[in-house]
Amino acid sequence: MDTLTAIHQRFSANRFDQNRPVAAELLDQLIDAARQAPSAFNLQQTRFFAVQDLEARKVLRGIAYNQAKVEEAPLVIVVLGDLKAHEQYEEIANADEQAGIYDQRMAEYFTNAVKTGYADSSRAHDEAIRSGSLAAMNLMNAATSLGLVTGPMIGFDQEKFRKAFDISDRYLPVIMITVGYNAPGNWPHKTRHTVEKLLERNGQPGRKNAFST
């Protein structure tokens, strides 16, 4: 399935086939697609916490305000952002340098910019949300193209999740994604605003535009 088709076919699922698990290879394919998403400086702070066992999903359901899909979907992936990823950035800069993408001077420049820039915890927080969201979207589009359905969710108690699953406060829960096979009763992809409403076609400095007021 091509990318545009997957984007248009994806919908947020509430119902999942409870008798059809997601194969381990598919989980790997999803994460492989998710990790191709961009991140500022290629910081790659996004991590993925998969919950599959029924008993664990039941615990997660309680943490997600009793939303049934969390138990009924055979796979739930919690996307996490590592708030300390910048402290290990040198490894990434070195890998990109070794791959011949840029030279040592550039690697040193990036390393310095990242270490100082992300010491500000609000920046690390915002970037974790941004990068995690991009990765999550990649994951959901990849899932659609693999014949799966997904449900993005932020309706869960992040602190309870951290406690129940022993996740360090170094990792910020960004979004939860239920994954599985379609079952009867799902709403289709919902309506969207028109392109006209969403787009300023030719922004110019000093000129009134769709977003000036």
Nearest to 78 by CA among 180, 155, 176: 176
Is residue 12 close enough to count as binding ligand FMN by CB under 6 A? Answer: yes
**Among residues 8, 84, 170, 189, the one that binds ligand FMN under rule CB under 6 A:** 189
Pick the piece of the chain touching ligand FMN (CB under 6 A) from 18-26, 147-155, 165-173, 195-203.
147-155
Is residue 182 close enough to count as binding ligand FMN by CB under 6 A? Answer: no
**Among residues 33, 153, 172, 177, the one that binds ligand FMN under rule CB under 6 A:** 153
CB contact set of 129 (below 8 Å; sequence gap of 6+): 81, 172, 174
Is residue 190 close enough to count as binding ligand FMN by CB under 6 A? Answer: yes
Give the footprint of ligand FMN on residues 56-85 (CB under 6 A): 67
The two structure tokens encoding residue 207: 């000129």
Is residue 95 close enough to count as binding ligand FMN by CB under 6 A? Answer: no
Nearer to ligand FMN, 117 or 152 (CB): 152
Is residue 8 close enough to count as binding ligand FMN by CB under 6 A? Answer: no
To ligand FMN, the closest distance from the beta carbon of 208 in angstroms equals: 31
Nearer to ligand FMN, 7 or 113 (CB): 7
Nearest to 108 by CA among 119, 130, 118, 93: 93
- CA angle 191/175/173 to nearest 5° reads 160
The DSSP code for 146 is T
To ligand FMN, the closest distance from the beta carbon of 136 in angstroms equals: 8
CB contact set of 195 (below 8 Å; sequence gap of 6+): none
Is residue 152 close enough to count as binding ligand FMN by CB under 6 A? Answer: yes
Mapped onto helix, strand or coil, the DSSP state of residue 43 is coil
Roughly what angle, to the nearest 10 degrees, separates helices 89-98 and 104-117?
160
Q: In the complex, which residues of this chain contact ligand FMN (CB under 6 A)?
A: 11-12, 67, 152-155, 175, 189-190
